[in-house]
Structure 1
């Protein structure tokens, strides 16, 4: 008697788990039909089955859902992905291109948890004066790689402290004020990067409120810093933003309050050094700086350094050559290699002749200075110990001497020598074109330096 095996259908993957889901009975399917025929003696609890299906769907959706949905079920410990999104908008979205689409976030979660962290919170942490407030565990994910690790979560405490110390407390406070102004203007923006259009509009608003171009540039730096530190595209690098900034400088009204140091004022300064400066060597040095800056139409930064890395950019000792007559210097030639408008690395030669007035002669004053300090290399103006003379040192003594001779030090700066030179040349009858060449101006900006109204006719 032969036994015939009944062919049973191959069970689909996961069928057992669905058939036996919290049921005491079992179910079987019969092949050969498109519909499965259930063979069971107990009814299925469809309500319970529906609940389990909803749970599975919710679990699946939470992995691919928007950040606003994910943040409703758990406390906000990371910077959500919605804070870093692309600037492009899907076609037909109905949103303006100047603002990224923002997911709505509930003020509180269904389970009483805190709302997700906002970009304002992150900015506050980054620009806090306390090193411990850095968002070390904040996760910043780019749109290109949504599975990248957090930007700060792998930094050790020492690295966090160094990052916090990168900016001074005053700079952090200044940057924080900028972001507070930005959030006040754009309260709905809660993502990075902000678009170049939004930043351009913010610049325009600052300009319309009377902010100077330099102040606006500082505010843009604050916006740029946060983007760079979070490794997201910086809108300040956009060509549009750079041109908007350039337009601020071109459109700003001229509010130059600096007055020219004219020849009569220069004479008072030179004579006032004997009373305002006690050290003889310092008096010799400052007198030479003052007279040379005035007579050679020099920017003060072309002869004294503003920082240590500028020692090679100022006039060097080797760039100065004297001509003598009966062993007395009668003229000096200065080769100027580095100056503001020199875009082609050309050399500019300055020739100064000695005058009969010993108090006002730049040639004799410079010769006395070099004989006294006797250095043969390096920057032209050095202290006795060989250190280059700094811009801050000269301007500080200039302010003290200006105050001593009875003038307002707030109105006379280091650039006042150059303004005074142009004004003095115009008073002597030199043409505007000639003054432009002597002062190395490449545009009609020289007109702003000629202040003939400073003279009493």
Structure 2
């Protein structure tokens, strides 16, 4: 036999032996590999939550079945019981299992709708429910949520006293009319009752019920309430002359030089910047207070303060609104009532420590109660009625004073409404002589 033909026959024999050997190896190894991968997938799938949130085996892999189309993906079944008697959250078709399977992600589960990614916590239904609740909670400010909870509690207490055993929702229109009447007898203000109704409307719609406050009878009842309970605002404005007296009274109404500088700066800033007292004081332990970084003093070449830049991030209806930055020019002709010079004196005694802008020596923030108490002491010393002069009187007085100096009503409204986007086009406080 020629050498070439002999080599070809030997090569054919060798290839056949190698092929037989590889077939035997595959028959031995593949079942082991399939078993290992199956156990791995079952272990990973056992961590997926059921509808009750408890882990269970949610898939059954049958490797004896022929592989399906590669485009088939795991589909979530809601409320369908498992064929094997387990609470299955997903039915996974068997996939071709090879030694290249190294991760725990089922092929074809990369998209989001109706598919499960094994071991991915983002697909956890409980997690999504928590996120949705978080988003709903942040639709309202902390203050609004607290007010709404108080309103709900007031209505629940009314039901418990007059209709024991009655469920809160859905709200019965007759019960709500009687609740409004009960508030009228207690002497509550119309605005308080309107807040109560807003809260009950919110909770009703969140529960999926019809808003009872849109009922014609409810609207007419609250309209009569407002007509009978309407009262004029008795708060009087703090005029420039009263403001100067208040500042001068601090020499005699407080023995601390530090507190004299502190409250003088607060009085003058509240007036000149049309501020609410809650914007410069702390109302609760967790409330956001005006920080030291909110104030910047601009000085002229002779080192005298020229203007003060105030940045507010926490103000009424501030949620979703950008910070408001505006300027107050120094009044060098009348330094005793100049907010810029008063702020400079206070910062010199306060120091540069981080923390609240207005604080005591121990670095605790000035609360609304502290501010009102000092204002009450000064007003009493001067002989003014503390029932008609309040902390809001600074804001009322600033508006009246600006109007008397020729500032238009539109500009006054912009000065007083930090929530107005139009205010950002009018950020310089006009320098009007007191």
| SS of residue matched to 1:349 | strand
Q: Does 1:427 align with 2:404?
A: yes
Match of 1:240 in 2: 212
Number of the residue aligned with 2:325: 349
Partner residue, 2:306: 330
1:316 and 2:268 matched: no
Residue 87 (structure 1) aligns with: none
| Alpha-carbon shift at residue 282 of structure 1 (Å) | 0.8
Match of 1:267 in 2: 244
- Is the 2:180–2:193 Cα contact (8 Å) retained in structure 1? no
5+ residue gaps, structure 1? 1-170, 184-188, 444-457
Is the Cα contact below 8 Å between 1:199 and 1:241 reproduced in 2? no
Q: Output the TM-score relative to the length of structure 1.
A: 0.49
Q: Tell me if 1:213 matches 2:190.
A: yes
Cα shift at 1:196: 3.2
Q: TM-score, normalised by structure 2?
A: 0.52
- Aligned pairs for 1:12-411 within 5 A: 179=158, 183=162, 189-193=163-167, 195-206=171-182, 209=185, 211-213=188-190, 216=193, 239-241=211-213, 253-311=230-288, 314-325=289-300, 326-355=302-331, 356-411=333-388
Decide whether the 8 Å contact of 1:300 with 1:415 is kept in 2: yes
The alpha-carbon distance between structure 1 residues 254 and 339, as it changes in their structure 2 partners (threshold 3 A), is farther
Call closer, same or farther: CA 1:190–1:178 in 2, change over 3 Å: closer
Q: Deviations over 1:350-390 (max 9, x none)?
A: 21111121210000000110110103422211111211111
Paired with 1:429 and 1:401, the residues of 2 have a C-alpha distance of 30
Cα gap change, 1:322 to 1:441, in 2 (>3 Å): closer
Post-superposition shift, 1:319? Answer: 1.8
CA shift in 2, pair 1:200/1:262, >3 Å: same
Please report the RMSD computed on the Cα atoms of aligned residues, expressed in angstroms.
Answer: 3.9
The structure with more helix, counted as a fraction of residues: 2
Corresponding residue number in structure 2 for 1:414: 391
For the structure 1 residues 181 and 427, does the alpha-carbon distance in structure 2 shift closer, same or farther, using more than 3 Å as the test? Answer: farther
For 2:354 and 2:385, locate their aligned partners in 1 and report how far apart those are by CA, in whole Å.
37
Question: Structure 2 CA distance, aligned partners of 1:350 and 1:383?
Answer: 26
* Alignment partners' CA distance in 1, 2:414 and 2:379: 29
Partner Cα distance (2:291, 2:210) in 1: 39
DSSP 3-state at the match of 1:388: coil
Extract unaligned runs of 5+ from structure 2.
Answer: 1-149, 421-434
Structure 2 vs 1, CA of residues 335 and 220 (structure 1 numbering), >3 Å: closer, same or farther? Answer: closer
